A and B are shown apart, each in its own frame.
Chain A
């Protein structure tokens, strides 16, 4: 009688963090034609490869919340994945005039918020992100 083959459940793991750190600069043009799912897929692919992303522009609030939701699903399903760290800073200036504000808001509707920077990193690499209105500081995990 032939022995039954044991079914082995394949556990997906994130690659071990090496000594080298990779920073991926992502111009807005790289995601501008993607929908929400496409953008999140692209970002999560880089995060799972243990890269820190510096994105030109920022995601919409809905995309940010979907990114968090997606990270939570992946924590449950991928070994050693602990989630993400994210921070965005905009080029907001309180002294801007009314017409400049209107011009910027129209540009934001038409082409998205490009005068911002979003930094996203895997929590296993980025220990902490500290943000204040004008700067973001990254505290990396010491290996």
Chain B
């Protein structure tokens, strides 16, 4: 309870003194949901450069990646973002899973260690966000406890959330299932890889920013 009050007070004061337009936008979700792909897509659209590397192997992003001064323009209104791409949050990590992707034992163990540290770092950053995009792989079961836990924490901290269902270009994608799992939230379906439906995403992002 004390923590919630402290966060609320911090948000009020930082809101008063914050430089207008600078918004810390976090990308959260399970590993391989497409957080870095979406962050890269936004950076490519507005800066012409990538933020981080992507891979089919889970836990490719193992440290927080930040891109500052990303200015988005919509109907003449400019908003400056600080994009914060976080490592995917998981409840378990087995180094042997990385060996299935061809890594040697030592390299897999090192990657697993970095991945656990990355998850701890992601959790610590939850307090520092102004708004968060929750990325969900629309080909997977959305009822994973990780998604529910992250959203629950953001709601408790009074941080606005936008749910994005990624990979809508794939056959197995089921956006209705995601909407059914999170009925209180607007769900935007995109393909970060192909850039599908990005206009609707930017519209929803500008709407999200108004809630801060």
Contact = CB atoms under 8 A, between A and B. Distances in A.
The binding surface of chain A is classed by DSSP as mixed
Contacts of B93: 72, 75, 82-83
Interface in A57-86: 60-62, 64-65, 68-69, 71-73, 75-76, 82-86
A41 to B, nearest CB: 18
B3 A62 contact: yes
Interface residues of A, number: 25
A54 interface: no
A71 B116 CA distance: 9
B92 A82 contact: yes
Contact of A61 (B92, B112, B143, B155): B155
A52 B149 CA distance: 20
A69 B120 contact: yes
Q: How large is the interface on B (under 10, 10 to 19, 20 to 34, 35 or more residues)?
A: 20 to 34
A85 B91 contact: yes
A130 interface: yes
B92 A64 contact: no
A125 to B, nearest CB: 11
B152 A68 contact: no
B119 A68 contact: yes
Contacts of B108: none
Among B94, B113, B155, residue most surrounded by chain A Cβ atoms (within 10 Å):
B94
A87 interface: yes
A87 B145 CA distance: 6
A71 B145 CA distance: 15
A88 B153 contact: no
A83 B90 contact: yes
Contacts of A133: 143, 180-181
B153 A71 contact: no
A132 interface: yes
B92 A123 contact: yes
Interface string A97-141: 000000000000000000000000001000001111100000000
26 contacts: A60-B152, A61-B153, A61-B155, A62-B156, A64-B149, A64-B152, A68-B149, A69-B119, A69-B120, A71-B91, A71-B92, A72-B119, A75-B92, A75-B112, A76-B117, A82-B92, A83-B91, A83-B92, A84-B91, A84-B92, A87-B145, A123-B91, A123-B92, A129-B145, A131-B141, A132-B141
Interface of B: 3, 89-94, 112-113, 116-117, 119-120, 123, 126, 141, 143-146, 148-150, 152-153, 155-156, 180-181
